[in-house]
Amino acid sequence: MQYILIIIAVILVVYFIFIRYSDITSFKSDIDDKYYLIRRGNKDEKYLKESVNILSEINKRVEKLIKHLVINFKDSDKYYFIKKLKENYSPSVLSEAAIDARYTTYTINKEEMHICLRTRDTNEDIYDINLLMYVVLHELAHLCNYDKNGYAIQGHGEEFRTIFKFLVIESIKLNIYEYDNYGEKPKEYCGIIVSTNILPKDEMVYL
């Protein structure tokens, strides 16, 4: 009798886990043939393809950035966090964030990056890739925010802002992110308003 109860308990746990995560599916991209976790949302294949292909495009740009940084800054004082970025990032890090009013895009333990890809209205349109890249660069800065001794740093302190700004500058140079002055033209993103850019407009003249 005890074993039967244990089996029933296990089945119930598995069932509730399935219900909790049934909205998430692994889907293959047409762009790089990699699988990414996205929201199923009872949508058709076209909807799923849009989601997974935008993650693939983001991954392509991020990999281009990391390759550029490793090659061109290997002997610089920035390499300690570039090395962490290279170590911590892989395509499997990227996934679509679940719809949750408490969160937009976020990184967990410098290992998982959950990205809000679509507008939170009835249209559920994919956000512009340029805005998504700015958000992703913000999360990449979290992913590699360590001190020179290898200790992880949390939050949005000076170290984070320095790294974020550096990633934005290098992304502009690589044409994987186009500068946008959100102070002049704020953008709605997943329930928040992006109204500042880590790179001030007057510093663009030096790029």
Over residues 63-109, the pLDDT tens digits come to 999 999 999 999 999 999 999 999 999 999 999 987 655 556 777 77
Q: So what's the pLDDT on residue 73?
A: 96
Task: Give DSSP secondary structure letters for 71-115.
Answer: HHSTTSTTHHHHHHHHHH--GGGEEEPPP-TT-SSEEETTTEEEE
Distance, C-alpha 95 to centroid of its chain: 7
Distance CA 132, CA 116 (A): 8
Render pLDDT for 47-56 as a digit per residue (tens, 0 to 9). 899 999 999 9
Neighbours of 125 (CB within 10 A): 11
More confident residue, 138 or 206: 138
192 contacts 101 by C-beta, under 8 angstroms: no
Every domain of the chain and the residues it spans: 2-206
More confident residue, 65 or 8: 65
SS3 (DSSP) at 61 = helix
Render pLDDT for 145-196 as a digit per residue (tens, 0 to 9). 999 999 999 999 999 999 999 999 999 999 999 999 999 999 999 989 999 9
* Neighbouring residues of 127: CB distance < 8 A, sequence distance ≥ 6: 116, 117, 118, 119, 189, 190
Inter-helix orientation angle 129-143/45-72, to 10°? 50
Distance CA 70, CA 151 (A): 20
Report strand pairing: 94-96 vs 106-108. Answer: unpaired
Q: So what's the pLDDT on residue 103?
A: 52
114 contacts 51 by C-beta, under 8 angstroms: no
* pLDDT exceeds 60 at position 13: no
